[in-house]
Amino acid sequence: MATKKNAATPLTGKALTKEVCRLIRLARSHWDAHRNQACRGERERALTLYQQLTDTEKNQIPQVLRVWLRYRSEKYFGPDRTPPGKRRS
């Protein structure tokens, strides 16, 4: 019988890189579907894990995903943008 990995075990190495790629792709799919709140959440999770990577591990992530995470999404979700939930009356 296969055993499950402990959810509390932090990811490292190849597993961490794979999870970052998965989260970026998930955030992009939410973005393409115009689900901004879900995109924002997945992007934040991806950024948190991305910051834990070494330079070598960061280079293993496809450039398209890195560019989307760091630059394009920063344009729309950066600190200078209006936070969600602030609608005009």
Distance between start and end Cα atoms, the chain: 57
Give me the pLDDT at residue 29, please: 94
Q: Could you tell me which residue, 41 or 3, shows the higher pLDDT?
A: 41
Give me the pLDDT at residue 58, please: 92
Give me the pLDDT at residue 3, please: 47
> Is residue 4 domain-resident?
no
> Is residue 52 domain-resident?
yes
Please state the domain count of the chain. 1
Instruction: Say whether pLDDT at 82 is over 90.
Output: no
> Is residue 82 domain-resident?
no
Residue 30 domain boundaries: 13-77
> Is residue 6 domain-resident?
no
Q: Could you tell me which residue, 6 or 13, shows the higher pLDDT?
A: 13
pLDDT digits (tens, 9 = 90+) for 15-66: 889 999 999 999 999 989 988 889 889 999 999 999 999 999 999 999 999 9
